Amino acid sequence: MTLFKLRKATIADLPDMMQLIAEGIAALGVQGSPQWQNGYGPTEEKIKEDILKQESYLLTFEDEIAAAAALVSGNDPVYTAIQGGKWVGEGPYLSIHRVVVNTRFKGQRLSAKLLQELEEVAREKQIFDLRIDTYQANTAMQRNISAAGYTFCGHIAFPIPHGERLAYQKLLSPTD
């Protein structure tokens, strides 16, 4: 069995992370998805901000980044404006953003592994409400989110072109 480990990203990881983001943007473009295209993907400034806030996580295999995501705290105004449904509960939550998997590791269900590892981080922080979104054309991510036990809650819209997203939530038990 291959061992993947979750760790916080550091500024030293930034160049490799940006390469990973570029691969993710290209892969979405090949799929015909407008998500993250035309300069609306994660920027170096945003990834650096995630790192400095200690909200950027990497799933690594040996010394290579296999996947990355941000686990963002605080209320997200975009998530507050959910439509066509609602979130369950009003307590604190963490949002999972900027999920990307290294193309070398595609097909190994690393999105699911990454989500599972982030759930453990949330439990350690004593926050049991996780929220995530994805673009409607990103069916692979939708499958991964659903397979990880998230429930569709409605629609949200980021204030960018093609900013509409499907919104999901998972309520965690303190121990699993």
Q: Is 176 among the domain residues? A: no
Lowest-pLDDT range of 15-29, 105-119, 145-159 = 105-119
Residue from 58, 56, 48 nearest 73 by CA: 56
Q: How many domains in the chain?
A: 1
| pLDDT value of position 1 | 46
Instruction: Using the structure block, give the residue that is written with the tokens 């998530």.
Output: 79
* pLDDT reported for residue 92: 95
Which residue segment(s) compose the domain that 21 sits in?
Answer: 5-171
pLDDT of residue 159: 92
Q: Is 146 contained in some domain? A: yes
Within 10 A of 147 (CB to CB), how many other CB atoms are there?
A: 12
What local confidence, expressed as pLDDT, does residue 25 receive? 93
Instruction: For residue 31, tell me if it sits in a domain.
Output: yes
3-56: pLDDT as tens digits? 899 999 999 999 999 999 999 999 999 988 888 999 889 999 999 999 999 999
Judge whether 136 lies within some domain: yes
Q: What is the pTM of this model?
A: 0.93
- What gap in Å lies between CA 125 and CA 89, rounded to an integer? 18
> Does the residue 28 lie in any domain?
yes
Determine the pLDDT at residue 124.
95
Whether 128 is covered by a domain: the verdict is yes
- The rounded distance, in Å, linking the Cα atoms of 141 and 165 is 12
Name the pLDDT band for 90 (thresholds 50, 70, 90): confident
Query: Is 19 domain-assigned?
Result: yes
Residue 176's pLDDT band, with cuts at 50, 70 and 90, is: low
CATH number, domain with residue 51: 3.40.630.30
Is the pLDDT assigned to residue 69 strictly greater than 60?
yes
**Residue 2: its pLDDT value, please?**
58
Please give the average per-residue pLDDT across 146-175, as a whole number. Answer: 93
Residue 83 domain flag: yes
Phi and psi of 75, rounded to 5°? -75, 130
